[in-house]
Structure 1
Amino acid sequence: MKQLSYSLLREQGYSGYLLKQAPERVIQFGEGNFMRAFVDYFIDILNEKTGFNSKVVLVQPIPRASGFDPGTALNEQEGLYTLYLRGAKAGQKLEERRIISCVSRCLNIYADYAAVLACAENPELRYITCNTTEAGIVYDPDCKLEDTPPKSYPAKLTQFLYRRFKTFGPGSKGFIILACELIDDNGRLLHQYVLDYARQWGLEKEFIDWLQTENIFCSTLVDRIVTGYPAGESAALEAANGYRDQVLDTGELFGLWVIEGPAWLKEELPFAEAGLPVLITDDHKPYKERKVRILNGAHTAVSLGAYLAGQDFVGDCLREDIIRNFMHRLIYQEIIPTLSLPAADCTAFADAVLERFQNPFIRHSLLAISLNSTAKWKARLLPSLKTSLRLTHQLPPCLTAAFAFYLAFYHGQEMTADGLRSQRQTGSYLIKDDPAVLQFFAAQKDAEITDYVNAVCRRTDFWGEDLSALPGLTAAVSEYLNIIHKQGVLAVMQDCLL
């Protein structure tokens, strides 16, 4: 079978959109599945719908691994790859197939260092996108201007920007920089670290001024589940397509990109004109709060209890009436009223979330969601519980029950090298969290329920405060734990619905 290429598509009589030649106006640090199913997909649509007419240079920001290399495969395929976006609407499976043609080539900054820096000399280059993972935006003081390349991504970017400045001088040719890493204020943090390197390396004041005045570092929120290369289906998909594709990619249909930037960016990046779910706003934080509290919050609130009730996957939970109704009340009656965005916007987002949870193409493991639930509970659910308590002067039943589910799930029996072992009716499972957290819960194995609840609530290092000070919380959680031990999780969920 022949490999995907422009000539092969011409031979096949392919009639879909393709952009073979265009100026390289985007450089993207990160060539992985997520960026190719998200940012590059949006750019490809922009090219088709608005005449954006831009190619993307991908840059691998880490050394090439041994074995299969996606960058090499992309170059062999002339930057082309097939993307499948899948989901369901009104119970019907939906699938969108698209050949993405916005990528020109893929470089590796370690193997192709000079070629990467040469991109900074391209006067048509305007945008920098990046997803170097949560560990990518870090400040390493050992990085030097002379390194080829330096270790940290912000240091690499500083070198790139400095080459740009030295080529074109002050007053022009800055970049729009769109950070996609899953950390708070990703763009602002990246900007700060670039400034730190510029000062550490003793670079010209004019360069530092140019960084501040000619470049826009945008914090962004990204939201799409990307499932990557479908190993079990690849042979069938390639047979249907009539070509071999080494970097075939898959993800969910839902996508949302919120970019914090100036209003004029809406004209320069005409996502709205293309009908894309990309929002440019002066503050991305309310949208991040909405996503974290509704989508991630519902995951954490329900997954631990549902697992104890015998479920294993998110989609299956929605087919159990009690769990589904519990999740509905949790989201619509307890979480949404605590959010700052308009209720109608939050309700529409919640509707989409529940549809996403039922995506038949994605099997999302409850145990996978349970990883590090202590920190997740603090970030995703505690703010909703506290705000609801402040607004209504009473404990929200589902959020309170969710805390009881967390305590029941974390009631371990034996520490092992792999985690804290516990038990549900159908067998044992491993609790995985920070070692200090697991040691604490292991020590609570024989505690009475009330003592156990109080001990957890008083761990200010877990919660940033003493939760036993919240009126009625320890008593309510203790009561729910008693019901769980006697009647099971579903009895507590049912009680919350009365």
Structure 2
Amino acid sequence: MNHSQATWLHIGAGSFHRAHQAWYLHRLLQSGDHSWTLALGNIRDDMTPLLQALQRQNGEYTLETVDPAGVREYERIKSVSRIVDWDADLAALTAAGAEASTRIISFTVTEAGYYLDHHFKLDQSNPDLAADLKGDSKRTIYGAITAILKARQANDAGAVTLLNCDNLRHNGERFRDGLLQFLELRGETPLRDWAATHTASPNCMVDRITPRPVPAVAERVLASTGVKDEAAVMGESFIQWVIEDHFIAGRPALENVGVEMVESVLPYEEAKIRILNATHSCIAWAGTLTGLNYIHEGTVVPAIRQMAYDYVTEDVIPCLSPSPLDLGKYRDVVLDRFSNPHIQDSNQRVAADGFSKLPGFIAPTINECFARGKTPHATAMLPALFFRFLQRWAAGQLPYQYQDGILDEAATRAMLADADPVKRFAADPMLWGKGAGTPELENVLREALGKVDAWLAAA
């Protein structure tokens, strides 16, 4: 690797990046390794107030962490050395990404931000993606990265690693598939060929619970550190990052600050997505249905905790065994993390994007159980909870606004208004893949809905 200072550009200025990737790079700087500098930008203007606050603070902000015992620690994060101003054409972001010194571009745009169907083909019906495909805008990660790669190719800026840091199975491969399809659909075949040889997209697994910041975080930061911080962020004390060591233009020595560099991230990723992410959604949907606001509240309700425990124990662990991880121990650690009352992680945040999470986190276990000749009674409780959650949404009875990047409101309302909505729900190939429309799936969902109804009646 060239040890002159290289740039790591991150796209997605939300809390997670600032509590996770930026924290690791901060630790590297603190160790005396100044070979990399971090730039931060965003595709959409919703983060402009935050970016402006960071600009006023020279990119610095305070990270508050809290462990299950309630011990809070405060650290001033100084890794973000450059804020990329947002503009509608993403001109500044494109210019930053096209610099020869930029060797890594990472991004966090949520699971819904990749617009992939169950065959991993781009959903061209999405209006943002359709506009980017026409070249009318740059509202998706594909539009933004295409502009950057085009400028890199023109500038002869060299190879770059494109690092997906979202909770998406095979996240590097999925993004790369989407990007190459996007370029093909745009008729950018020479750029597609250039990208195929001048970029790498390693898979990685990221983990740290990071709630949306509330005013109380800044208040605690001020009280504890004396710093008035407009960009304070908080997260749990637990943190993990596992990355496949397949970088094309050099990388920081992340292994020196606790990042696990591996040949294949697959077993870690599967455990995290199915045990942590799916269980998180289960608790959020169940908690919402019983009038709770926070994840920790649901996790300590015996019936909800049992649902989550049974889902992992009865169905996920058999699907993922053998594994290099102790899956039973991982399950218990996850449930303990979720029960931390000091995180104040909202059901609204975790319940979001169900139309991406159901096929991504939950349907694979259902389909694999059926393939092994086992009926996934425990796993079916999760989509049953989501189905009842959607009915509350359609009736205007949720206590908050449901946020879902790929929600087709008209189609979902039509499904719920059908003479047999469960049959229609079970027949949706976007949700269930190869299991869609089978009598086995429909039957286990009906059985699970009966159990959910009985539980709600007794709750």
> 2:35 aligned to 29, 44, 53, which one?
53
2:297 matches 1:320 = no
Over 3 Å counting, the alpha-carbon distance change for 1:430 and 1:270 in structure 2 is closer
Task: Verify the 8 A CA contact 1:420 1:442 in the aligned structure 2.
Answer: no
Match of 2:160 among 170, 175, 189: 175
The answer to whether residue 379 in structure 2 is matched with residue 399 in structure 1 is yes
Give 3-state SS (helix, strand or coil) of 1:61's partner.
coil
Q: Name the % identity.
A: 22
Alignment pair present for 1:437 and 2:412: yes
Q: Does 1:346 align with 2:345?
A: no
Report deviation, 1:454. 5.9
Contact between 1:292 and 1:380, CA under 8 Å: does it hold in 2? yes
Distance 1:481 1:99 in 2: 45
Q: 1:194 to 1:109 in 2, by over 3 A?
A: farther
Q: Structure 1: how far apart are the matches of 2:257 and 2:381?
A: 43
Structure 1 CA distance, aligned partners of 2:214 and 2:358? 32
Distance in structure 2 (CA, Å) of the matches to 1:419 and 1:478: 17
What does residue range 131-210 of structure 1 map to in structure 2 within 5 Å? 131-133=108-110, 134-135=112-113, 138=129, 140-143=132-135, 153-168=141-156, 173-181=158-166, 183=168, 186-188=171-173, 190-191=175-176, 210=194
Provide, for residues 426-456 of structure 1, a one-character-per-residue CA deviation record: whole Å limited to 9, x for no partner: xx86896744334443456xxxxxx886675
RMSD after superposition: 4.3
What is the aligned partner in structure 1 of residue 458 from structure 2? Answer: 488
Superimposed CA distance per residue, residues 86-137 of structure 1 (whole angstroms, 9 cap, x where no aligned partner): 231xxx1233321111222212252897765654675543222223454478
Deviates most, 338-347 or 131-140: 131-140
Is 1:281 aligned to residue 266 of structure 2? no
Question: Gaps spanning 5+ residues in structure 1: where?
Answer: 1-21, 413-417, 423-427, 445-450, 490-498
The alignment of Structure 1 onto Structure 2 pairs a total of residues equal to 434
Deviations 1:15-70 (A, max 9, x none): xxxxxxx93522223333322222111111122337253221223334587xx723
Q: Identify the residue that residue 294 of structure 1 maps to in structure 2.
A: 275
2:14 to 17, 32, 44: 32
What's the TM-score, normalizing by structure 1?
A: 0.70
Give the superposition deviation at 1:244. 2.4
Alignment of 1:55-454 (within 5 A): 55-63=37-45, 69-88=49-68, 92-110=69-87, 119=96, 123-133=100-110, 134-135=112-113, 138=129, 140-143=132-135, 153-168=141-156, 173-181=158-166, 183=168, 186-188=171-173, 190-191=175-176, 210-262=194-246, 268-276=251-259, 278-282=260-264, 284-305=265-286, 307-308=288-289, 311-339=292-320, 342=323, 344-366=325-347, 369-370=350-351, 373=354, 376-391=357-372, 393-402=373-382, 405=385, 419-420=394-395, 434-442=409-417
Closer, same or farther in 2 for the Cα pair 1:263/1:337, shift >3 Å?
farther
Q: What SS does the corresponding residue of 1:297 show, helix, strand or coil?
A: helix
Q: Structure 1 pair 49/367, CA: closer, same or farther in 2 (3 Å)?
A: closer
* Shift in CA distance, 430/224, structure 1 to aligned 2, threshold 3 Å: closer
1:248 Cα shift?
1.6
Contact in 1 for aligned 2:22/2:80 (Cα 8 Å): yes
Change (3 A) 1:281 1:349: farther
TM-score by structure 2 length? 0.75
Q: Is the Cα–Cα contact under 8 Å of residues 60 and 106 in structure 1 kept in the other structure?
A: no
